[in-house]
Amino acid sequence: MEAALVHAGCSALGAFLQVLFDRMATRDFLNLFRGRKRDTKILKKLQTTLKTLSIMLDDAETREMSDEHVKGWLDDLKDVVCCADDLLDEVNTEALWIKVEGETEEEQGGHTSQKGHQVSIINAKKASLRLPSTSLVSESIVIGRGSEIEKIINLLLPEDAHNKEIGVIPVVGLGGIGKTTLAQVVFNDERVKYHFNLRAWVCVSENYDALRITKSLLEEVGSSGVGTSDNFNMLQIKLRESLKGKKFLIILDDVWNEQYTDWDIFKNSLRQGAIGSKILVTTRSEKVALMMGSEPCHYLSPIGDEDC
């Protein structure tokens, strides 16, 4: 019953988002933005936000419907979509007013500033919506990726005694294409479990937080005494000591941050691992993959009918 409700919620929100896209394509709506560079930027930002929400909703529909986080997440997503709907109501009202009464430049500027602020609020809410992933996977939903799974596993298992750097394997693809599922299967493969002393899974998401990631890794590797400390330096040292001399596999799922400095600082705590330690990164961004990867990017393509 709960699964049916979650599925119905996804379908209803998907239909609602399509209505918003249709409203944004009307002539009166587009005319309101025509010839105003600042307003056009706001419009594009709102369109991008709604498209991202649509991708995230598609991602939620592919999850196991028993996922306890999905239902609450849908409620939060509904709140963001309603904010966008309220903004479109205001824009449509403004378009009608201009059509009837006209508008001064001063009034235009005020409306633009207000709309920009509202879009920023919507974006902030959207940024907190990322569904966290876990290492658990249902084998029944893994179809058509057998050769790619084997390819990734074959990249993880070899050891190069002459290379003391951690091997970083990036998996790149569109949202909802199956990057996380592929990583989950690899993470739980018996050969992988046997090969590595430690395995850890962290969902990084759009809001990059090095402190949170470090704490998550410490918890994953069973380090005690993490507690509520927010001392990043101390936690990084503790992580380095926890990994020292151990051959580990770390999955960093859904990485968005394209700042090399952030990655370089974080990677310092991982350098004491044993030879053969690996990191598997999943990302939508080729820039992230090229920045983090020590191995060539593995691009994940849609599954064709012949693969199923």
Question: Mean pLDDT highest for which of 10-24, 42-56, 207-221?
Answer: 207-221
pLDDT, tens digit, 9 for 90 and up, residues 169-192: 999 988 777 888 889 899 999 999
The reported pLDDT for the residue numbered 63 is 52
More confident residue, 207 or 297: 297
> Is pLDDT of 5 > 50?
no
How confident is the model at residue 193, as a pLDDT?
A: 92
pLDDT for res 34: 63
pLDDT of residue 2: 47
In this prediction, residue 240 carries a pLDDT of 92
Residue 196: pLDDT band (50, 70, 90) is very high
Contacts of 242 (CB under 8 A, 6+ apart): 218, 221, 222, 223
3-state secondary structure of 190: helix
| Residues 254/204, Cβ–Cβ less than 8 Å | yes
Residue 11 has pLDDT above 60, yes or no: yes
Sorted by sequence, the CB contacts under 8 Å of residue 240 that are 6+ apart come out as 268, 269, 270, 271, 272
Q: Give the range among 121-135, 147-161, 208-222, 293-307 with minimum mean pLDDT.
A: 121-135
Domain 2-127 has CATH 1.20.120: yes
User: What is the reported pLDDT for 128?
Assistant: 47
Smallest CA-to-CA distance from 219 within 202, 195, 205 is with 202
Q: 3-state DSSP call for residue 168? A: strand
Count Cβ neighbours within 10 Å for each residue of 155-179 and write b for 16 or more, e otherwise: bbeeeeeeeeebbbbbbbbeebbbb
Model confidence at 153, in pLDDT bands (50, 70, 90)? very high
pLDDT at 167 > cutoff 80: yes
Q: Any residues with CB less than 8 A from the CB of 227 and at least 6 apart, and which?
A: none
Band of pLDDT at residue 161, cut at 50, 70 and 90: low
Instruction: Retrieve residue 91's tokens.
Output: 């824009």
- Predicted confidence at residue 101, as pLDDT, reads 55
| 172 Cβ neighbours under 8 A, 6+ residues apart | 179, 283, 284, 285, 286, 289, 297, 298, 299, 300
Confidence grade of residue 139 (pLDDT, cut at 50, 70, 90): low
Say which CATH architecture domain 139-307 belongs to.
3-Layer(aba) Sandwich (3.40)
User: Is residue 144 very low, low, confident or very high in pLDDT (cuts 50, 70, 90)?
Assistant: low
Domain boundaries, the chain: 2-127, 139-307
Which pLDDT score, from 0 to 100, does residue 36 have?
Answer: 57
- Residue 68 pLDDT: 52
Q: Summarize pLDDT for 82-131 with one digit per residue, the tens.
A: 777 777 777 666 656 555 555 544 444 444 445 544 555 455 444 444 55
pLDDT: is 24 or 216 the higher one?
A: 216
Distance CA 271, CA 157 (A): 18
Q: Answer with the residue of higher pLDDT: 213 or 144.
A: 213
- Identify the H or E element spanning 203: strand 198-205
Q: Which of 250, 253, 252, 277 is nearest to 166 (CA)?
A: 277
Bigger pLDDT: 18 or 242?
242
Residue 210 has pLDDT above 80, yes or no: yes
